[in-house]
Amino acid sequence: MTSTADTKTLFLAKLIEQAALLERLISLIPEEALDWRPEIADAGDSTSNRAFSFAELLGHLLDCLSGFCATLYAAHPDQLAHFGKLRERPVNHRCEIEEAKERLREYVVHIEEGFSVLNEGDLPRLLPTVFTKEGEAVLTLLLGNLEHLINHKHQLFLYLKRFGIHVSTSDLYVFR
């Protein structure tokens, strides 16, 4: 990539890189460990205070990816009208490993399509959200979704480490 690449192209490249790292981490989860969850000190017996299981974390990672599609759809609803069907797909559910990898790839295809209709002028445009009636800039929403995805990718990394799977810094970052 040259130094003349635009913001959306650079952002998409970073997002695709993160998705590839995430798919690699997902592939390290042992099938028999899907219901494993780390113990959290002082969590009590409340299910609302307990950590995600691997399977629940996979379902939440799909929710993270769907946020990109929702933002792109909101920016270009006419051109991306078929993205509406993605809302019918479950997220935040107990998810199997193969489903997570397949759906991750599916979201990446949709995200690439969404970025293909996005232009630089869209990035500062405000979109209303459930949190701010006056709206947030498209770029701010995309950055927030990237932060959400990366934080939960790191959570998966820590789960694997606590479960005893060998992971290293190269599973979190691409070194150039």
For residues 55 and 94, the answer to whether their CB atoms sit within 8 Å is yes
> How far is residue 155's CA from residue 158's CA, in Å, rounded to a whole number?
5
Sign (positive or negative) of CA dihedral 85, 91, 95, 100: positive
H helices present in the chain, as ranges: 7-27, 54-75, 97-117, 138-163
pLDDT tens for each residue of the chain, 176 residues long: 445 689 999 999 999 999 999 999 999 999 999 999 998 876 555 566 689 999 999 999 999 999 999 999 999 999 999 999 999 999 999 999 999 999 999 999 999 999 999 999 999 999 999 889 899 999 999 999 999 999 999 999 999 999 999 999 999 999 98
Please name the residue that has the structure tokens 């800039």: 137
Instruction: Spell out the residues 6+ positions from residue 160 whose beta carbon is closer than 8 angstroms to its own.
Output: 25, 28, 29, 167
Which domains, ranges and CATH numbers included, belong to the chain?
A: 7-33+50-171 (1.20.120.450)
Any idea what DSSP says for residue 131?
Answer: S
Q: What is the pTM of this model?
A: 0.92
10 Å Cβ neighbour count for 49? 10
Q: How many CA atoms are closer than 13 Å to the CA of 72, on its beta-carbon side?
A: 28
